[in-house]
Amino acid sequence: MIEFKNVGKKYSGGSFGLEKVTFSVVPGEFVYLIGKSGAGKTTILKLLIGEVKPSSGKIIFKGHEIQRFSRGNIARLRRKIRMVFQDFKTLFDRTVLENVMLSLYILGRRGKEAEAEAKKALKLVGLEDKYNYFPVQISAGELQRVAIARAIAGGPEVLLADEPTGNLDPETGGEIITLLEEINRDGTTVIVTTHNAQLVDKARKRVIAIEEGKIVRDQKEGAYHAS
């Protein structure tokens, strides 16, 4: 479903970005991308939604080379591969419900239908009593859930989550991971970046470790540290 073939990315500043990254993900998989800050995890996710173009190599989604996509095709791609951003990117002048509806409107849902689907997504992340709250009125963990609800509303094929536990206490982080695993069980392919060793070790999922822009380990049912 997703394939990286010798993908390189050089940022204009001269920092390394990525080098010869090769891996593939099959439908329904759950993948942890791990590595220190600055290793290149976010860059991999951004390449997948076409926000960043690779300097070399191919990125393939369902047989199509993403790096060659037109703007219109990238827009369509982003409706299938939805990302939960590290900084959430919620709109602070909209309610929780309205924030989730944003992504449904883009999918072409209207009025009542959009509202019903948004509520369904919010229920799934456990925010059914916060529809009309504004982002400043809820906690960081709840904001993370709003961002997840917005990404899964309308049913994407792939969910990318960039450090979803980064800003959270361990317990709340664990709940978020549980939620992502539930979403994965319902059939969505999930890729999560993290540097939280404890959660990765507990999950026993596939682990792709990155160091200085290179893949150093790709292990099924792996742990945070190489065994």
Partner 1 sequence: MHLRTAWNHIRRSPYQACAAILTMALTFFVAAVFFLAAIGIQTILADFEKQPQITAFFSDIKSEEDIRLLDEKLKGTGTVEKTVYISKEDALRIYQEQNKDDPLLLEMVTADILPASLEISATDPKHLEGLAAILEQEPGVEDVIYQKDVVDRLIAWTQVARTIGLVLVLVLATVSLLVLLTVISMKIALKREEIEILRLLGATNWYIRWPFLLEGGIYGVIAATLAWGASFMAVWYSLPFIKSFLTGIVFTGLSPLLILTLLGGLVAGGFLLGVIGSFFALVRYL
Ligand X SMILES: Nc1ncnc2c1ncn2[C@@H]1O[C@H](COP(=O)(O)OP(=O)(O)O)[C@@H](O)[C@H]1O
CB of 121 to partner 1, least distance (A): 13
39 binds, among Mg ion, ligand X, partner 1, none (CB under 5 to 8 A by kind): ligand X
Q: Which of 59, 124, 36, 51 is nearest to 83 (CA)?
A: 51
Give backbone dihedrals phi and psi of 74, rounded to 5 degrees, phi first: -65, -40
Q: Does 42 bind Mg ion (CB under 5 A)?
A: yes
114's CB contacts (< 8 A; 6+ apart) are 101, 104, 105
13 binds, among partner 1, Mg ion, ligand X, none (CB under 5 to 8 A by kind): ligand X
- The span of 54-62, 83-91, 135-143, 181-189 binding partner 1 (CB under 8 A) equals 83-91
Residue whose entry in the numeric block shows the structure tokens 């593939």: 24
CB of 19 to ligand X, least distance (A): 11
Residue whose entry in the numeric block shows the structure tokens 């037109």: 70
The torsion angle over the Cα atoms of residues 102, 26, 202 and 19, rounded to 10 degrees, is: -90
DSSP assignment of 57-71 equals: EEEEETTEEGGG--H
Q: Does 60 bind partner 1 (CB under 8 A)?
A: no
Q: Does 165 bind ligand X (CB under 6 A)?
A: no
Near partner 1 in 175-214, by CB under 8 A: none
Q: Distance between CA atoms of 59 and 56, rounded to whole angstroms?
A: 10
Binding region for partner 1 (CB under 8 A): 49, 51, 71-72, 75-79, 82-83, 85, 89, 91, 102-103, 105-107, 110, 150
Binding region for ligand X (CB under 6 A): 11, 13, 15, 17, 35, 37-43
